[in-house]
Amino acid sequence: VEHYTCIVDLLGRAGRLHEAVDIIEALVESNPTVWMPLLGACKVHSNVEMGERVAKLVLESDPENDACHVLLSNIYAAAGQWDSSANIQHQRLERGLKKQPGHTWIEVDNEVHSFTADDQEHPQKDEIIAELERLNGKMKEAGYVPDLNCVLHNVDEGEKVFQLSHHSEKLAIAFGLINTPPSTPLRIF
């Protein structure tokens, strides 16, 4: 099943969603683990209809799958379907499911450092934020415009940009950049 999950993930990333479905449906026994990468791909490729279908299949076999609820809500949000997004979030909360915060790790000098979104606990937080601001400025100068469609709709634009620019992955990368020599490969996990 693990290998099929990888194939589904690769096909999904390439936008070949229907081929990914064919692979899953050809399996004698599929499980939510195989379907979840396809659900993520539905968000990336803005395929609400397939996202609904995949989420239904996952939730039939695993109704407590908090990640499925969050992804489906994000699919709706990215499509501007705010009422549907809020409805899924409401269902998740009614079931007592809590979104697990995303963690990102990076190893520097044989020490693993963990980050969550808007991490305020790291001893180098001020330097990390300064590096993030520097990087965000360079990206903006290069013409980068953040996609704000997938961020909560009930916050102002400045807060949306902040949420996008302070993800755990970005914090880990900024930490790696300020704590390693130039051109050092950074691996986050």
Q: Where are the domains of the chain?
A: 2-94, 103-179
**What average pLDDT score do residues 93-98 get?**
86
Cα distance between residue 52 and residue 58, in whole Å: 10
Banded pLDDT at 102 (limits 50, 70, 90): confident
What are the tens digits of pLDDT across the range 126-172? 999 999 999 989 999 999 887 766 555 555 666 656 666 678 888 99
- Specify the pTM: 0.64
Contact 183, 118 (CB under 8 A): no
List beta partners, residue 104. Answer: 115
- Choose among 89, 62, 91: nearest CA to 75: 89
- Name the superfamily (CATH) of residues 2-94: Tetratricopeptide repeat domain (1.25.40.10)
Cα distance between residue 65 and residue 61, in whole Å: 9
What are the tens digits of pLDDT across the range 25-76? 888 677 888 899 999 999 889 999 999 999 999 999 999 898 899 899 989 9
